[in-house]
């Protein structure tokens, strides 16, 4: 679309510019041609003027006039007329009465003072020349030949100016008149003569020859010239259809109005006889500045139309070829871009839908090729990661399934062992109580009681861990719970050498917890700390409120042996213990973790081997209503 629109715009603008240029060029040329035509016309008139002036000043005619024997010069007058190619040559007396006319020697005495040139020459006592309309009466006085030459029947052509007359009888002449003076410079006569323009093609053909060099286009003259008498073609080389000269035809109304009526030149295209021409017309005036005719030059428009048409054709074909080539090129280009992009889009969709084996087949080395290469690499990397992830999850699931199975088994075993163990503990206690102090078996029985107690503890721990007893929550002060634990523990032998300090936040908000479960967590952590310090060190307890997360933080910091890095993530696992058999079961932190998780809290640890360990328990602050709501939603 862009290509078509731009080339259409450019082509039409280009065509317009060039056609206008061609037309203006032709127009300017015709305008110049009209100047040349005028020069030729004028030089013809000048020639006549020269001939008349020279002849009038000849002593031969002067002396004859002075001597009253002008009739004797007739022979010479005729000779001058013929040798100079004049149509009339006449001598009058100073009043304008004819004394001798070359064409009609016998006819004298008539007055020619109505002839404007004769009148002007008498008046000015000098020579004058100009174009003049000669009425048929005057032509008749000269010769029938001139009458016939001037007479033109109107021929109607399309576009010609409409007139009611059907013929023209008067003639248009280039004429000059000069005074004949005696030796005292008195006017003794007038010599006038000229050339009839009607049917005289000398001027127009000279224009055609010199200005247009007789050039032809499609066997028609390119350049044409015409002399009009008023609106009538009296001398022309514009041809009729039958290739006769188009004399007797008339100018168009439009040109007539412009040139004859308004007295202005007409320049532009005009319909001449039977064809369109690029034309220039200008008025021909008589010596009194009345417009009596038109001088015309014109060049055949067809030639320029054809040039224009050829230019348009060339332009159009160039544009068309341009459009075709650029359309094909841009189609190929866009296909080379959009094709790979489509492939990439499809591949992305495939990848998005989980098909990571997708590959884009683009082998180009440009940006798209690189993109495709990177895309394929990405898909491959995704697939590898996906595979690893799958494998990992698979093994994790298997492991946790196994663990769950073991847990289930352990819980069942614990449950089954609980009752018989209870019996063993009870009866071994009873036995021990009833046994005399000095009984030799007492030592062994005491060991049985200790081991039975221990077994019962393990089993209870296991049961606690596996049962996940439902918490019994109430609104509590965490500080109080912590204080309760300390007072319970500090009396025990393990804590005798441990310095317990506490930094408790007295403004700690109350929160809904199961106090006995939380107590159990705290005791686990504190006992672990005491174990880690081997009953000798400092234990700091701190509580604070975190307004950002809206939770209570309880911090236990000991100066014990710390936890090795590799053990840090294992300490919450069930049965993970570093303590000797008989001391640790490895369930304390596992159970604590479960309890804190159940309270929607977190438990975390930081430790440095040899320096100590800090456990942080975070419990959300919840009101009773919130906890009820929570319960319901669960
Ligand atoms: N405060 C502490 N300092 C050093 N190690 C600790 C501390 N608390 C816990 N541990 C480590 O975590 C392990 C697991 O603790 P726990 O689950 O309570 O089991 P147990 O106390 O029976 O060993 C302990 O064996 C010990 O290695
Ligand atoms: Mg413990």
Tell me the pLDDT tens digit for each residue of 456-495: 878 877 777 776 556 788 999 999 999 999 998 988 888 9
Identify the residue with better confidence: 580 or 81: 81
Q: Which residues have a Cβ under 8 Å from the Cβ of 228 and sit 6 or more positions away?
A: 234, 251, 284, 293, 294, 295, 296
What is the bridge-based pairing of β-strands 537-546 and 498-503?
parallel
| DSSP classification of residue 73 | G
| Residue range 281-309, pLDDT digits in tens | 999 999 999 999 999 999 988 888 888 88
| Residue range 217-253, pLDDT digits in tens | 888 888 999 999 999 999 999 988 888 999 999 999 9
Q: What angle do CA 613, 579, 489 make, to 5 degrees?
A: 65
Our measurement of the distance from residue 486's CA atom to the centroid of its chain's CA atoms, rounded to an integer in Å, reads 81
Q: Which residues have a Cβ under 8 Å from the Cβ of 417 and sit 6 or more positions away?
A: 455, 459
pTM above 0.85, yes or no: no
Please check the confidence at residue 629 and state whether its pLDDT lies above 80.
Answer: no
Give pLDDT, residue 633. 66
Give pLDDT, residue 487. 92
| Residue range 36-52, pLDDT digits in tens | 999 999 999 999 999 99
Residue 495 Cα to ligand 1 middle (Å) = 17
Residue 578 Cα to ligand 1 middle (Å) = 7
Please check the confidence at residue 634 and state whether its pLDDT lies above 60.
Answer: no
Best residue for ligand 1 mutational test, from 531, 592, 605 (most atoms within 8 Å of Cβ): 531
- Of all residues in the chain, what percent carry a pLDDT higher than 90? 59
Residue 287, CA distances (Å) to 44, 269, 408, 624 in order: 16, 30, 141, 130
> How far apart, in whole angstroms, are the C-alpha atoms of residue 207 and residue 226?
9
Q: Which residue has the tokens 């109505």?
A: 114
Mean pLDDT score of the chain: 90
Looking only at Cα atoms, what is the longest distance across the chain? 210
Give pLDDT, residue 291. 96
Best residue for ligand 1 mutational test, from 589, 592, 605 (most atoms within 8 Å of Cβ): 589
Atom of ligand 1 nearest to the CA of 612: 3
583 lines ligand 1 (CB under 6 A): no
Spell out the SS3 assignment of 498-530.
EEEEEECCCCCCCEEECHHHHHHHHHHHHHHHH
> How far apart, in whole angstroms, are the C-alpha atoms of residue 297 and residue 253?
17
> How far apart, in whole angstroms, are the C-alpha atoms of residue 119 and residue 132?
13
529 lines ligand 1 (CB under 6 A): yes
Give pLDDT, residue 467. 62
Give pLDDT, residue 469. 59
Average pLDDT for 426-439 = 90
Identify the residue with better confidence: 243 or 634: 243
Please check the confidence at residue 407 and state whether its pLDDT lies above 70.
Answer: yes
């Amino acid at each position: 679309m862009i290509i078509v629109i731009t080339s259409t715009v450019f082509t039409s603008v280009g065509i317009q510019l060039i056609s206008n240029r061609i037309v203006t060029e032709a127009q300017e040329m015709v305008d110049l041609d009209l100047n040349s035509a005028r020069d030729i016309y004028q030089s013809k008139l000048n020639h006549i003027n020269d001939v008349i002036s020279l002849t009038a000043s000849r002593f031969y005619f002067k002396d004859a006039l002075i001597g009253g024997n002008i009739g004797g010069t007739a022979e010479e007058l005729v000779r001058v007329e013929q040798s100079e190619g004049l149509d009339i040559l006449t001598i009058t007396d100073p009043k304008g009465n004819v004394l001798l006319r070359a064409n009609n020697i016998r006819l004298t005495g008539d007055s020619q003072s109505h002839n404007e040139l004769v009148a002007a020459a008498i008046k000015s006592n000098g020579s004058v020349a100009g174009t003049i309309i000669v009425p048929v009466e005057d032509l008749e006085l000269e010769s029938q030949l001139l009458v016939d030459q001037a007479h033109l029947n109107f021929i109607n052509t399309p576009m010609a100016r409409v007139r009611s007359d059907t013929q023209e009888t008067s003639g248009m002449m280039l004429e000059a008149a000069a005074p004949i003076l005696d030796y005292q410079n008195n006017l003794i006569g007038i010599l006038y003569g000229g050339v009839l323009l009607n049917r005289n093609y000398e001027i127009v053909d000279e224009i055609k020859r010199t200005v247009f060099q007789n050039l032809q286009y499609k066997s028609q003259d390119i350049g044409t010239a015409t002399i009009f008498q008023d609106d009538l073609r009296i001398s022309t080389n514009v041809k009729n259809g039958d290739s006769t000269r188009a004399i007797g035809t008339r100018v168009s109304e439009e040109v007539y109005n412009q040139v004859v009526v308004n007295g202005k030149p007409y320049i532009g295209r005009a319909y001449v006889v039977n064809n369109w021409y690029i034309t220039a017309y200008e008025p021909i005036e008589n010596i009194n500045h009345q417009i009596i005719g038109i001088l015309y030059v014109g060049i055949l428009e067809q030639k320029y139309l054809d040039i224009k048409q050829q230019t348009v054709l060339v332009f159009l074909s160039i544009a068309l070829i341009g459009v075709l080539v650029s359309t094909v090129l841009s189609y190929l280009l866009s296909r080379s871009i959009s094709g790979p992009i489509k492939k990439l889009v499809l591949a992305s969709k495939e990848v998005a839908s989980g098909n990571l084996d997708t590959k884009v087949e683009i082998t180009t080395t440009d940006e798209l090729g690189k993109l495709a290469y990177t895309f394929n690499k990405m898909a491959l990397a995704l697939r590898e990661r996906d595979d690893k992830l799958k494998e990992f999850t698979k093994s994790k699931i298997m492991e946790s399934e196994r663990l769950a199975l073991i847990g289930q088994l352990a819980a069942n075993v614990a449950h089954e062992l609980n009752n018989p163990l209870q019996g063993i503990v009870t009866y071994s206690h009873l036995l021990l109580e009833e046994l005399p102090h000095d009984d030799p078996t007492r030592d062994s029985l005491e060991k049985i009681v200790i081991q039975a107690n221990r077994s019962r503890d393990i089993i209870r721990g296991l049961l606690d861990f596996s049962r996940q007893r439902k918490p019994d929550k109430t609104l509590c002060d965490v500080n109080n719970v912590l204080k309760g634990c300390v007072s319970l523990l500090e009396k025990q032998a393990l804590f005798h050498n441990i310095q317990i300090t506490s930094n408790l936040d007295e403004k700690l908000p109350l929160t809904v917890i199961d106090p006995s479960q939380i107590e159990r967590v705290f005791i686990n952590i504190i006992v672990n700390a005491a174990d880690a310090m081997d009953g000798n060190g400092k234990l700091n307890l701190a509580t604070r409120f975190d307004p950002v997360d809206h939770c209570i933080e309880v911090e236990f910091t000991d100066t014990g042996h710390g936890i090795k890095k590799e053990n840090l993530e294992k300490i919450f696992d069930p049965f993970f213990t570093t303590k000797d058999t008989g001391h640790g079961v490895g369930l304390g932190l596992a159970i604590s973790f479960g309890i804190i998780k159940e309270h929607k809290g977190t438990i975390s640890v930081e430790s440095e081997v040899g320096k100590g360990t800090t456990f942080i328990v975070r419990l959300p602050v919840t009101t009773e209503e919130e906890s009820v709501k929570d319960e319901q939603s669960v």
